[in-house]
Structure 1
Amino acid sequence: MAKTYNIFISHSWDHSDDLKSLYKLLDSRNYFFYKPNEATKEEPINSENAKYIKSVLKRRIENSNIVLALAGIYTSHSDWMKWEIETAKELDIPIVGIIPRGQERISRVVFDNSIVNVRWNTESIVQAIREYAK
């Protein structure tokens, strides 16, 4: 039986098209199964209380086998993404940086905290997940 990976994808809601594209990419890979754990614009955590939101996100990160961090330069300007990456690091959850299509520069926050950074390629991403996931 194939393993199902619990994946938390750290992303910016202002760039949610990157998240949707990553879902499509992962969904296109035969014999690869995953369950996304992040909050999205379509399925947000219904609260304005930052402490509560962080507690929910922390549990989701903790229950993940791996964190994929979209490594666009915008990550360096997102307090939420920085917090998610720091939390994953504290919880010893492996972080893989995903370099969005066409990006030349990547976020220093992701670069400094990831095990590996891979280009926007199905096989590279799936291989990194299989290699580094807990």
Structure 2
Amino acid sequence: MKTYNIFISHAWKYTEHYNKVVQWLNEAQSEGKFNWKNYSVPEHDPLIDPNTSSGKTKLKNALDAQIKPASIVIILAGMYAAHSDWIDFEIDTAVSYEKYIIGVKPWGQERIPTKVSNNADIMVGWNKSSVVDAVAAR
């Protein structure tokens, strides 16, 4: 069975969206569709303050270290408006390492941020089968 190293874009404010994607991937693994390793760390590190220049540098270094070994990067497009600087950095980092990017459209939202749609290898809907199928097709 194939194993995927996956980084899931996340923001601490949107933990429930991140957790839902993790749940879907865990269910797919339990169903024998594939194995996966989570290269994202959603919990906030209180030692890193992203509002300071040293904190931004630490967070960028941490994100780079998480994205580099991943084979797939999943971008949750619904968080984009509130966190575009960080998601831009995640997308740019994924592109620089030539990672396969899966963009996930927010539930019920028609408009997708251009940065996400222009860089995603595939855009999928906000549902388990779309996300799991996009991973398994890689």
* RMSD value, Cα: 1.8
Structure 1: runs of 5+ lacking an equivalent = none
- Percent identity of paired positions between Structure 1 and Structure 2: 33
Alignment of 1:100-111 (within 5 A): 100-111=106-117
d(CA) in 2 for partners of 1:8, 1:124: 17
Which one-letter code corresponds to 2:3 in the other structure? T
- What TM-score do the two structures reach when normalised by structure 2? 0.82
The CA distance in 2 between the partners of 1:129 and 1:46, in whole Å, is 33
Structure 1 counterpart SS, 2:111: coil
CA distance in 1 between partners of 2:15 and 2:130 (Å): 21
Alignment of 1:59-74 (within 5 A): 59-72=65-78, 74=79
Asked if structure 2 preserves the Cα contact closer than 8 Å seen for 1:45 and 1:53, the reply is no
Give 1:45 deviation, angstroms. 7.5
The 2-side partners of 1:109 and 1:87 are apart by: 13
Deviation at 1:122? 2.1
Q: Deviations over 1:4-56 (max 9, x none)?
A: 21100112322221111111122222113211111213x53843322122112
| Equivalent residue number for residue 41 of structure 2 | 39
4+ residue runs over 6 A deviation: none
Check conservation: 2:24, 2:132, Cα contact below 8 A: no
Deviations along 1:90-111, one digit per CA (max 9) or x if unpaired, are: 1111111011222222222211
Q: How many residues align?
A: 129
